[in-house]
Amino acid sequence: MFNCIACEEVFDALRFLLHITAGLRCGRMNYIFFSLQRSGRLDGNLETLFLRFWRRYLAKTGDNEMLEIVAPFFAFRGLVMAHPVWYPRLNPIVRQKLFNFMFAVLKRNRFDLSQVNFYCDEGCQNRAA
């Protein structure tokens, strides 16, 4: 058998790590979300903050693998933002752009910081084809 106390400690550590990294990744969706509501695209100060965060994070940590694993976290946060129960008054165009973004990032091997507006606008127009 195995030591249940050790397993609990490992699971607690994993939960903590997942919580921290999920927060790191999901929190950056707010810049996209608020900018889409304001102007229909990621731009202005919110784009500056989004890019500044990611560039600084990548430069300071060297964790470029994050761009390869971030898609499910963006999708999870995007589903919450696009869900009519939590955001019933969200403009349908913004809701669609969120879904476009989610589908676009999920079908790629690596998230490209410079392609957020493409993902939101055109990223998945051909997904049904």
Cα–Cα distance for residue pair 21/35, rounded to 1 Å: 23
Position 41 in a domain: yes
Structural domains in the chain (count): 1
The pLDDT, as a whole number, for residue 57 is 87
Position 16 in a domain: no
CA atoms within 13 Å, Cβ hemisphere of 33: 17
SS3 41: coil
For residues 51 and 36, is the Cβ–Cβ distance under 8 A?
no
The pLDDT, as a whole number, for residue 28 is 83
Place of tokens 């693998």: 65
pTM: 0.78
Please give the chain's pLDDT, 129 residues, in tens.
Answer: 445 555 556 655 555 555 555 555 555 899 999 999 999 999 999 999 999 999 998 999 898 998 998 898 899 899 999 999 999 999 999 999 999 999 999 999 999 999 999 999 975 555 544
| C-alpha 6, offset from chain centre | 32
Position 42 in a domain: yes
The pLDDT, as a whole number, for residue 128 is 47
The pLDDT, as a whole number, for residue 55 is 92
Cα–Cα distance for residue pair 74/81, rounded to 1 Å: 10
Question: Could you tell me the residue range of the domain that residue 45 belongs to?
Answer: 27-121
Cα–Cα distance for residue pair 100/121, rounded to 1 Å: 7
Position 110 in a domain: yes
